[in-house]
Amino acid sequence: MQEWWRSAVIYQVYPRSYQDSTGNGVGDLAGITQRLDHIAELGVDCIWLSPIFTSPQADMGYDVSDYLSVDPLFGDLDDLDALIAGAHTRRLKVIVDQVLSHTSDQHLWFKESRTSRDNDKADWYVWADPLPDGSPPTNWHSHFGGPAWEFDAQRGQYYLHNFLAAQPDLNFHNPDVVEAILETCKFWLDRGLDGFRLDTVNYYFHDRQLRSNPAAQAKPQVMATDLYGMQDNIYNKTRPENLAFLEKLRALTDQYDDIMMVGEVGEVGRRSINIMGDYTAGQNRLHMAYSFAMLSSDFSAAHFRDCIEGFQTGAPDGHPYWSFSNHDVIRQVSRWADHAVSEDSMARLTCAMLMAFEGTIGIYQGEELGQTETELEFAELTDPPAIRFWPGVKGRDGCRTPMVWERDAPNAGFSTGTPWLPVKPPQAAKAVNQQGAGSIMAHYKKMIAYRKNSPVLTQGKTTFFTLPEPLLAFTRTTTDATLTCIFNLSKERQTVPLKAAADVAIGAAVTLTDDTLTLDGNGYAYLSHGAEAPF
């Protein structure tokens, strides 16, 4: 029997922004529980919760100060238990973000570590002496701007932070750290979670020799915070020791039934696909991995084909997780607007594409509404890099604004108080209670159901056709069935001659004659046919 996660559709919930049950303006676990029917009715298989652990919230929960408790902002352990129980009653799995590469500087481990060079936790973080001129130990950059090193006067040393200075990196070369992290994961598995989404999974280890990175071989597309991309980041992440740690994590999860781990590979381009392959190879590492490969502005048939074929080649026994949006990037409908006939046509097209891809599929909350990026003023921002580098960088707040439930209710039904990020009219217009027959939400339900009821889409292998841009086309095949999927990634009509007879199983903006398939802008079709391929 195929494991549940291999063909699953996973729905990401950003807890701060889903449903506020208390009126304090911040979403919480009880609010998510209130909305479980909405998630279940979409037909998805699993909920991924962004971090809910105790945190000062310097980076919205990705700075954990206690791995074994729920932040009071979101509720408590009982609220999490109720959410898990409610989800399981609805046949939904629940996984939670695990942020293991770094902690908050308010974590008790770090507070002890920084007191001296010889305490019990002295070597639990990455500490290093200044260079003779007082400068940082390496040239490594932080993702959020500036050096990846912060000087601590108490120890007279620098500590490593790949993100905010308030997020010091753990020293995974220390076996005590590895054991402590494994114990925290065991705590949550014992509590009934169905697995983990592992944040920045290729950042656990650093180069022990503290070698500086070389310059990037290709000139990066530099933005205000992208000094990071000007280096070939070979010494500060994706170190070979990562693989042994992943094997330890897998050995832990294999002690439980039906557990799944999906890792976020913090890398772009072909390298990210190669890392996905390494991290999912065999049966003793991650169950699956995803990268930012499909979260960029690139919207071409060649790009999507390269991502999928690259994974097929690099990880023939691995398993991919594909998504177009999450809490860190501009929403797909807005990100790819230049290629869209309309917002709705892009929402329908990208849903149909995802549901046709081989592997596991991820949806970010609000995508089922065709939600767009929220335009924010500087005074409304909460995201650290956006505040630091405004106006050159808009940051991540625009994709994190609250879920909208009722168009005309205060804050679109998200909260009776003042929400932590504003709900604006363009987003409220797409509220759940506006999504009737023929809506984007109805489209998502239909496409998810079609995928789940189609063995060829949940189990079939992928073979691409070579068609001119902007046409993406491939066949999904099992021993019993074949389905050909074709997508027009442009606003212009495209016509394709047919070599064999076919029928449209499901599609939009498509016309089929005996010898021609015509796709209007953003049109798509799933084609059923005989043994001979239609193109």
CB atoms within 10 A of CB 404: 24
* Helices 269-280/301-314 angle, 10° precision: 30
The CA distance from 340 to 39, in Å, is: 27
φ, ψ for residue 233, nearest 5 deg: -80, 75
Buried b / exposed e along 322-345 (16+ C-beta atoms within 10 A): bbbbbbebbbbbbbbbebbbebbb
The CA distance from 499 to 532, in Å, is: 8
Could you give the residue numbers annotated as active site? Answer: 199, 267
Is the Cβ–Cβ distance between 150 and 159 less than 8 Å? yes
- DSSP letter, residue 102: B
Is the Cβ–Cβ distance between 46 and 5 less than 8 Å? yes
Tell me the residue ranges of DSSP E strands in 248-291: 260-265, 288-291
Which pair of tokens denotes residue 364? 């970010």
- DSSP letter, residue 146: S
Which residues, in sequence order, are CB contacts of 479 under 8 Å at separation 6+? none
Is the Cβ–Cβ distance between 525 and 512 less than 8 Å? yes
The CA distance from 123 to 70, in Å, is: 27
Strand partners, 263: 198, 289
